[in-house]
Amino acid sequence: MSHLLTPRNNAPFLSPEEIAARFQEAFPFCEIDREGGADAVGETIAALLRMNAPAELIEQQRALQQESIAVVLADDPTSEHDLNLVLKPGEGILIPYYSAQHQEAVRPLVERCAEVLGYEIGWP
């Protein structure tokens, strides 16, 4: 279960830095972790290597690694219902859900993400 946030009307992708700045303004709790973003992409690279993915796909992820940012968004820092996202340059934002209950609980957060970015909510 997941959604993908992408720019509306074929507009260009915002940079991870711009997205993080907009999220900081829009959410009462916004934890930004640049190292965590690089680590998350590193985990993706490791998984691609285990799957013997094409070299160009692996290199594409490596090129994004240092500019990627991990963020956690919530209306309340003690809430169990937050969004954990990895912002990658030139890519949509994958919204992972842990259960149907989580998806329903974070729907307002996802909608706010799309609104502040001028992105649309779609399927990966």
Q: What is the pLDDT of residues 59-116, one digit of tens each?
A: 999 999 999 999 999 999 898 899 999 999 999 999 999 999 999 999 999 999 999 9
Closest alpha carbon to 68 in 50, 95, 49, 93: 93
Mean pLDDT confidence for 43-51: 97
Phi, psi angle pair for 97, to nearest 5°: -115, 145
Tokens 């994958």 correspond to what residue? 94
**pTM, two decimal places:** 0.92
pLDDT of residue 1: 87
Confidence class for position 18, pLDDT limits 50, 70, 90: very high
Please tell me what DSSP assigns to residue 80.
Answer: S
Instruction: Determine the 3-state secondary structure of 122 from DSSP.
Output: strand
The pair phi, psi for residue 91, each rounded to 5°, is: -130, 155
